[in-house]
Structure 1
Amino acid sequence: MPIRPLQFFAALGIACPSAVAAGVVINEIHYDADPMTAAVEFVELHNTGERALDLSGLFFSSGIRFIFSQGSTLAPGKLFVIARNKAALEATHPGLKVDGVYEGRLANQGETLTLAAGHGAPVLSLTYSDQAPLPTKADGEGYSLVADGVSETGYRASAAIGGTPGSDSAGEVPAMKLTIDRLSGDRVRLTFEAEVGVIYTLLATDALGQTWESLARFEPNADGTVTSSIALGQARHRFFKLVSPVKP
């Protein structure tokens, strides 16, 4: 019976690339902090699988420089934080335990981060940018990029300035400033902050449990704002929700 690659890599005491690729995601990147606090930039990995993963010998072959030491493991659901400056990041986020320190720095304009094994065989790769449709709030405004399975880009801006290294941010809800002004008749003016490049839809229903109908779609301005006058309908009581993104 031939030896499978999985068994071959394990026998050599090297991380299994296929297992890591299936279970690990680059969960959060803080790549362009305020120039005065650039030392708090970081990359966070997340084991989304159900088994502990051996990261021994894996390394970042592009972007930053970091090698996982022998015996490095990542338990199911756990996070692995590597920082540009361990002391600075831990001081900024009390209680955080930084797992490693990388060399180099994350490019402010964007780049490709590649986690590799062996002689450089890619395990996983992520290309980020400071341009829409990726969240532009992560570009020098203090927010990080956070993995988000709902967003069409796969990432959103963190809810908090500085990000959440070492903490599961899956349940974070980014704050949104929303204003509704009554106009004449059944019309209102809706104003809110949004993510550039993301399409938002206003839905309505006369009763919870019934079908939601689409009232309007919004695409943010270049400054990340939406202002629109819409008709809400003549019903005495209605329920509304603003959702994103719109899937084709």
Structure 2
Amino acid sequence: LRARLDGVTVSDPFLHAGLMARETTDANARFAAAVASSMQLGCFFEARATAGGAATTAAPRGGFRANYPQTWLRLRRQGQTLTGFAGVDGQTWVQLGAQTFSGLSNTLYLGLAVASGNTNSLATARFRDLGPAIDPVTVPALAFPREPLGPSSRATGMIFSEIMYHPAPRADGRNLEFVELYNARSVFEDLSGWRLSGDIAFTFPEGFILQAGEFVVVAAAPEDVKTVYGITNVLGPYTGNLPHDAGRVRLRNNLGAIRLEVNYSDQPPWPAAADGAGHSLVLARPSYGEDDPRAWAASELRGGSPGTPDAWRPTPLSAVVLNEILAHTDDPVLDFVELFNTGSVEVNLSGCILTDDPATNRFRIPAGTRLPARGFLAFDQNQLGFALNSAGETVYLLDPEATRVLDAVRFGPQENGVALGRTPDGALPWRRLMLPTPGHANTPRRVEPVVINEIMYHPISEDDADEYVELHNTGVTAVDLSGWRFVDGIDFEIPTGTTLPAGGYLVVAKDAARLRANYPQLNTA
């Protein structure tokens, strides 16, 4: 028998909810159960082999995390042995543990069980999809793509678990901007007088307690969030707003000390799908620390998951990534977008969407389109029905139902005829490539002759006027730098007619006259 555990109210970190088989309804009867608990404890097998004896628990090496609302539990009987399993899709299972009994009755009581773990607090569980396990597949372990929710700072066990800073526009005008917090400690946290600061401001009310393993959402428009998502654990409103380009959110304790800080951005390496495409930012790898962009990912589904865990929902489509684009061309060369299957099995792409506007499904991949394992597939601008913007934009790959952005790439202005792609194929970094290769393995990254060779960012004089950046041409031919610009950190456009000879150097200074006075060997560029 199997069931999906949609969610639980966290009465205590040690709550139990799951499938149980009992010999009798007596309090100390023999039993076996596949259960899930709080996010801290995850899923495990529990059994009492002897009536009146102590119950024992078992779990696979490394544990099996709770994945609400996609926590699947299964209990199997074979003769005198009862075995518990857990999974995330109702098809593939990991064994939690097993118990072999002696003289176990042929007739058992089977049902859904919930135990609070706290005699003073009620626990509830929502079970769905109860029924027989059909063609189950057992595997040694599942490779979750994210870390379990846990502390991201040594300063506190509280975490920012989700941030919706740029919700997709809605026809009803409801504001779904929010920040979600989670108590990753093993005990409750009294948040009385704690506050959010940065680009928003909110003070938690006196007496507000967040239990271990519980979420709370702080929203710009609490009633809008409650109505759209059907949740109740929402506070607010906060003042201010979460900027759509780059913003800061801090958590301060009741003494004003900063306990958490996130400085997010809509630019790479931050996930592009969270910037107006419907997804939220979720803390996927807390071990990096909450202010590291590598710690964050786009939510599994558009809309995010406020007030609940962001469950892993496996799909074969997640193996397919955007792998190469060419966005600046002249006829007869055409813009193109290339897909790559990083997985080991063929994937059906029928109905998937490629677009440069998350609100418009501009191109649907034709029915029957299949991408072999480690295979490539490219669509040019004529097939897509739209060209890419050479000045820069974002390209999205969506699933057929448009419920999730499978992959997205945001790029800036592109040089004519120079492709941008992952190298090696399927890897995280996007690089300018030596050659465009639509439908084939990417070439190595393009080696740029001009490099940033030296930076003086903190002069010993403590005078910012002594700052400079040096460029160097490592190539064998001169490079025309007319119109080249520094766009991040400093803002400067190199004047028309500036040429950097082979092996030459060019210094861009905060104060050119002062730099020449300090370094008389320099000449005027």
* 2:252 equivalent in structure 1: 116
Distance, in Å, in 2 between the alignment partners of 1:216 and 1:20 is 37
* 2:340 equivalent in structure 1: none
- Given candidates 169, 181, 187, the residue that maps to 2:310 is 169
| Structure 2 unaligned spans of 5+ | 1-152, 321-348, 350-369, 379-396, 398-405, 411-420, 432-437, 442-525
CA deviation after TM superposition for structure 1 residue 173, in Å: 5.1
SS at the partner of 2:375? strand
* 2:236 equivalent in structure 1: 100
* 1:156 equivalent in structure 2: 297
CA deviation after TM superposition for structure 1 residue 99, in Å: 3.1
CA deviation after TM superposition for structure 1 residue 100, in Å: 3.3
* 1:5 equivalent in structure 2: none
Does the Cα contact within 8 Å between 1:194 and 1:220 map onto a contact in 2?
A: no
Alignment deviations for residues 94-129 of structure 1 (CA, whole Å, 9 cap, x no partner)? 244313321221111121111113453211111111
Does the Cα contact within 8 Å between 2:231 and 2:307 map onto a contact in 1?
A: no
Distance, in Å, in 2 between the alignment partners of 1:40 and 1:115 is 20
* 2:80 equivalent in structure 1: none
Distance, in Å, in 1 between the alignment partners of 2:154 and 2:374 is 53
CA deviation after TM superposition for structure 1 residue 190, in Å: 5.5
Give the AA of the match of 2:375.
Answer: V
Distance, in Å, in 1 between the alignment partners of 2:190 and 2:311 is 24
- Given candidates 148, 161, 164, the residue that maps to 1:30 is 164
Distance, in Å, in 1 between the alignment partners of 2:298 and 2:157 is 23
- Given candidates 275, 279, 283, the residue that maps to 1:143 is 279
| Structure 1 unaligned spans of 5+ | 1-18, 202-214, 231-248
The structure 1 segments of at least 4 consecutive aligned residues displaced by more than 6 Å after TM superposition are none
Q: Report 1:52-131 matches (<5 A).
A: 52-118=188-254, 120-131=256-267
- Are 2:447 and 1:229 equivalent residues in the alignment? no
Does the Cα contact within 8 Å between 1:26 and 1:46 map onto a contact in 2?
A: yes
SS at the partner of 1:115? strand
TM-score (ref. length: structure 1): 0.65
Q: Report 1:1-40 matches (<5 A).
A: 21-36=155-170, 37=173, 39-40=175-176
Distance, in Å, in 1 between the alignment partners of 2:282 and 2:163 is 7
TM-score (ref. length: structure 2): 0.33
* 1:218 equivalent in structure 2: 427
CA deviation after TM superposition for structure 1 residue 40, in Å: 1.1
Distance 1:141 1:38, change over 3 A: farther
Larger Rg: 2
Higher helix content, 1 or 2: 1
Distance, in Å, in 1 between the alignment partners of 2:314 and 2:422 is 15
Give the AA of the match of 2:298.
Answer: A
- Are 2:407 and 1:194 equivalent residues in the alignment? yes
Give the AA of the match of 2:376.
Answer: R
Distance 1:188 1:29, change over 3 A: closer
Alignment deviations for residues 185-226 of structure 1 (CA, whole Å, 9 cap, x no partner)? x983267753549x989xxxxxxxxxxxxx95434769xxxx
Give the AA of the match of 1:176.
Answer: S
Distance 1:170 1:134, change over 3 A: same
Distance, in Å, in 2 between the alignment partners of 1:181 and 1:171 is 23
How many residue pairs align between the two structures? 192
CA deviation after TM superposition for structure 1 residue 155, in Å: 0.8
SS at the partner of 1:26? strand
Distance, in Å, in 1 between the alignment partners of 2:184 and 2:408 is 26
Q: Which has the higher contact order (CA 8 A, sep 6+)?
A: 1
CA deviation after TM superposition for structure 1 residue 68, in Å: 0.8
- Identity %, equivalent residues: 31
- Given candidates 177, 181, 189, the residue that maps to 1:41 is 177
Does the Cα contact within 8 Å between 1:187 and 1:229 map onto a contact in 2?
A: no
